[in-house]
Structure 1
């Protein structure tokens, strides 16, 4: 006679761990269903009871806001950028960085677009000055750390660059942001964008060195 199977309980999590686990399960569903995603569906994806969600989040809107906040977090992106080998030639470094940055921007666009698709963005419709300033600070924080990591990729070539790595990292980031989503028709691919960044628009032109103080 076989012994009855004993159902093992999931390991206990502190509130921060459980919050992160729920958000991680919710993110792909938010992209797929937008604000119509149900907490029941999120709970099934997370392998928890629906009531557990409301022990961590006050309501579904708070969970959706946390998903958008997580999409804006640059931590993983910065870690990937910092992991790019400086032993590679500069074009290879920047092409790899462009792929990483496009993935980050696509993720933000997917989540923000899904939540706004039915006019149910998570922030108030008429934010006051404090809300607008907080939103600005969040956006800037999401750009500052990746910009510093991009500058570090340019640092070995500092003496050959026309501008300081920090300024060029800002330009490169702006080019990536304006180039459009990867996979969409029309935008430059990563290698094309890097070539344009490094060599400019004129065919056969070599970049000048020296110039501005570094």
Structure 2
């Protein structure tokens, strides 16, 4: 009986010491704060110096993910150097100007990018599918915003997630679209510099040269919404 009590005491002592034993307590009862016993699935937050910030860097500020759109390193004649940036919020889409002290540490946003195919619209939701696993991701009209006018069935997109939440969709830079509405061509359509508005199959309205007609297929830069050429 004494031997059993001693074994029990040793087990309890081990559970509160630095060499935590997981074999005594059931997983739900085990409460150990030692580093060796912390959950391994917690995300690791990486950081970088503000001196290393570049356009396209994803950072986390005030608990939200931001993308660096512009940056400028400034070294005034007097005072400390700093980095002036323009950031875009992935969640809300707004942009802000923010200044960081040069050399300060900033957290990198853990953003996961996955290639998925836009398959169809289900009511007010846009459905994207992983073509290898067939897992679906859905975005509402509010979440996708104005980008919906460039969505075309079968298009492969980059779906960006942060902390398990989809925050953005990146389209191919150049996409081919069919013109579904356009003014009829008139004499002088080949004159350089002339332009007109046409409607594409997705509902987007684009400014194109006068020679583009109904039924033509054109290439559009989805980043700017500008006409590139006829396909």
TM-score range relative to shorter protein = under 0.3
* TM-score normalized by the length of structure 2: 0.22
Higher gyration radius (CA): 2
* Higher fraction of strand: 2
